[in-house]
Amino acid sequence: MMGVIEGTIVWSNIIVLLALGLTMTYITTAVPNFAQASFAVVGSYIALTLLRFIGLDPYLSIPLTFIIGGLIGISTYYIALKPLIKRKASIEMLMIATLAWDLILFGIIGAYSEILGSLTKRTETLFVFTNLDFEVYGLPGRLIVSTMLVLLTIIGLYLLLYKTKFGIALRASMENPSLAEAMGINVENTRLFSWFISGSLACMAGSILPYLQEIVPQTGYFLIVSIFAASIVGGLYHIAGALIGGYIIGVSESLFTYLLSMFFGPGVLVYGKVISLIIMIIAILIIPRGVTGSILWRRLEKWLNL
């Protein structure tokens, strides 16, 4: 049971980190990024590479994956989206562009995994870090590190968005891009920032993911539904939405699947995604703008004086 709870928290933390980036880029660029999950797999492979070549503990590679991830995020915006936005492409075209970018990343990841394999003389198309994990007082490292990362991210984003001048401008342009532009705030900067953070959080999450499950080049396909479900359930228009949605989806996916498997055996594990899908559809039908877009949340916000 302890293992289930621990796995649930780690999984939720990873979903939160991924959904945060998705929500941020959606707010600033107004496009749902289908390549978000592939960012994470890139992170996993960066961690693997560092482990293989310089023996670096994957946890210690996080600062580097953070930076490389940020650069991947920015290049997504610059290469795949900005040229189209300039040409006033419709949102459908932008969505196709992120699908195309996802395919490019997928191709690169696949090719790289085989190159790595030919260099290290082992199969790198499938790997885990589970055996490398440490333990403190019986708590596995992945639980501690992923929770720390989420906390640090929240605190960091809070300080940045609420306590700095840049952050205030940033929030203004996130909440109302056209107004912010009229006020002379550089929307381009907010976009770059959000894509950087989106890529870096995703890659960080990706470097922890192998502690929880096997990684293959196709791993992105397993993640994408959960990430979108989290962002949509929480509300795509509010950063806090990713946090709330991430935990709702992460927890219900893991716990519900666990409960199901107790009754029906391990064959039902794949049905975890069905849970996310159902929650997402219910949310779309009842609260199309997600938890943070609901009237209840607005009242709560007023009450908390946020």
Looking at beta carbons only, is 153 or 252 nearer to other proteins? 252
Whose tokens are 């949509």? That residue is 232
Measure Cα distances from 189 to 27, 186, 198, 261 in Å.
13, 6, 14, 47
63 near other proteins (CB under 8 A)? no
- What stretches of 137-179 adopt beta strand conformation (E)? 139-140
**Residues whose CB falls within 8 Å of the CB of residue 35, separated by 6 or more in sequence, listed in order:** 76, 80, 98, 99, 101, 102, 105
User: 71-110: which residues touch other proteins (CB under 8 A)?
Assistant: 79-80, 83-84, 87, 89-93, 95-97, 99-104, 106-108, 110
- Minimum Å gap between C-beta 144 and other proteins is 30
DSSP letter at 176 equals -
Place of tokens 């994956």: 65
Q: Which residue has the tokens 């938890």?
A: 291
- Residue 237 binds other proteins, judged by CB under 8 A: no
Applying CB under 8 A, among 160, 274, 293, 294 the residue interacting with other proteins is: 274
Q: Is 79 or 148 the residue whose CB approaches other proteins more closely?
A: 79
Specify the DSSP element, H or E, that contains 227.
Answer: helix 219-234
From the list 10, 20, 244, 280, which residue makes contact with other proteins (rule: CB under 8 A)? Answer: 280
188 binds other proteins (CB under 8 A): no
Q: Does 118 bind other proteins (CB under 8 A)?
A: yes
Per CB under 8 A, 55 contacts other proteins: no
Beta bridge partners of 215: 127
Rounded Cα distance between 8 and 250, Å, is: 7
Interface positions with other proteins (CB under 8 A): 30-32, 34, 79-80, 83-84, 87, 89-93, 95-97, 99-104, 106-108, 110-115, 118, 221-222, 224-225, 228-229, 232, 267, 269-271, 273-274, 276-277, 280-281, 284-285, 288, 298
